[in-house]
């Protein structure tokens, strides 16, 4: 039986959601194949906590654990960290140096997908539509009226590097612009300001099973708030998620084909979710989630269920990939 560290937590506003994801992964792993250890990461504290509440700290020299005199070396890592350092390539680089395989995308594709500005540049290079945008670093002058004149209102103000819509604002009036920028810069030192694209939000999940790439049914996200923000994502009743999405067959095929193409071109692995806006003008790429939510209510497990795959099967495939 292989020892698996399920890493969760992290150093972002997604900490609590990541802990929930990690616990769900732990509860649903195939215990006939894998022995799991839930490892929380928060700053310099990396630890496993037993049922009595005692913490055992990870030896970062080799990512091992000693519990009650037993030295545990991990055969693989299930990465359930949303945000930094698990979704932006940092933890991947560390594990690569130690030769420990992990379930998520590698260093390059993680870093690329996590930076919305760079990812949009990469995606648009293939002729794929993305929202018009401008970006600024902390300390740079932002000429508010020029931005509004260029992008129009409403517009979105986002941290370039964050997930779960943490720090994201939809700005309808000019008097809310400065506050939105401050909220974004509280999460990252780079802000991305995008035009608003009216349309339907659609998501496409994929997972590789060895060399085979499985594409799940699409999900349409219908937020009951102004947009699909952090509260709508994680509060019951604030969003309606329809799986499979009620879209024309050619739209479904276009989205799935494009998602497969991007999965390959970005060098993704494991399970990934691509999000789009379907507008009257066509299909727009919105973002890619290299480590999507993993609770029973999260989008990817919903997609897998609609496909006929249980959450245990989903997680087992992700781990089996490490040892083929």
86 catalytic? Reply is no
164 catalytic? Reply is yes
Catalytic residue among 87, 194, 201, 287: 287
264 catalytic? Reply is no
289 catalytic? Reply is yes
The closest of 169, 13, 21, 179 to 103, measured between CA atoms, is 21
pLDDT of residue 237: 65
208 catalytic? Reply is no
Catalytic residue among 12, 36, 79, 164: 164
Half-sphere exposure of 288 (CA within 13 A, CB side): 34
DSSP run (H or E) holding 273: strand 271-279
pLDDT of residue 123: 97
pLDDT of residue 3: 97
Catalytic residue among 234, 259, 298, 321: 234
User: pTM of the full predicted structure?
Assistant: 0.92
273 catalytic? Reply is yes
pLDDT of residue 225: 60
Domains of the chain: 2-103 (3.40.50.20), 111-128+198-323 (3.30.470.20), 133-195 (3.30.1490.20)
75 catalytic? Reply is no
Q: Round to whole Å and give the CA distance between 55 and 248.
A: 52
Catalytic residue among 273, 276, 298, 321: 273
Q: Round to whole Å and give the CA distance between 84 and 80.
A: 11
pLDDT of residue 153: 96
Catalytic residue among 14, 88, 187, 229: 14
Phi and psi at residue 260, in whole multiples of 5°? Answer: -65, -45
Q: Which residues of the chain have pLDDT under 50?
A: 229, 232
320 catalytic? Reply is no
At residue 195, the 3 state secondary structure works out as: strand
């Amino acid at each position: 039986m292989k020892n698996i560290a399920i890493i969760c937590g992290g150093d972002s506003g997604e900490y609590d959601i990541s802990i929930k994801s990690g616990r769900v992964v732990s509860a649903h792993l195939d215990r006939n194949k894998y022995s799991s250890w839930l490892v929380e990461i928060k700053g310099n504290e990396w630890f496993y906590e037993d049922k009595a509440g005692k913490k055992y700290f990870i030896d970062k020299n080799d990512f091992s654990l000693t519990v009650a005199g037993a030295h545990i070396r991990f055969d693989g890592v299930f990465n359930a960290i949303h945000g930094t350092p698990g979704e932006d390539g940092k933890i991947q680089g560390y594990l690569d140096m130690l030769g420990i395989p992990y379930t998520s995308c590698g260093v390059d594709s993680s870093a690329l997908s996590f930076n919305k500005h760079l990812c949009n540049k990469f995606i648009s290079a293939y002729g794929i539509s993305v929202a018009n945008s401008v970006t600024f670093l902390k300390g740079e002058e932002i000429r508010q009226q020029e931005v509004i004149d260029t992008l129009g209102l409403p517009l979105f103000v986002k941290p370039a590097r964050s997930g779960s819509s943490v720090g994201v604002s939809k700005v309808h009036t000019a008097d809310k612009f400065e506050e939105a920028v401050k909220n974004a810069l509280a999460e990252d030192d780079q802000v991305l300001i995008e035009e608003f694209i009216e349309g339907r939000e659609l998501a496409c999940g994929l997972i590789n099973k060895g060399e085979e790439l499985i594409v799940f049914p699409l999900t349409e996200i219908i937020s009951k708030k102004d947009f699909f923000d952090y509260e709508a994502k994680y509060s019951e009743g604030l969003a309606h998620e329809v799986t499979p999405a009620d879209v024309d067959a050619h739209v479904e095929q276009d989205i799935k084909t494009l998602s497969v193409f991007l999965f390959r071109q970005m060098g993704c692995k494991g399970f990934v979710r691509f999000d789009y806006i379907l507008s009257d003008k066509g299909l727009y790429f919105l973002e890619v989630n290299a480590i999507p939510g993993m609770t029973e209510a999260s989008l990817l497990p919903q997609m897998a269920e609609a496909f006929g795959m249980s959450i245990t099967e989903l997680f087992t495939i992700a781990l089996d990939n490490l040892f083929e």
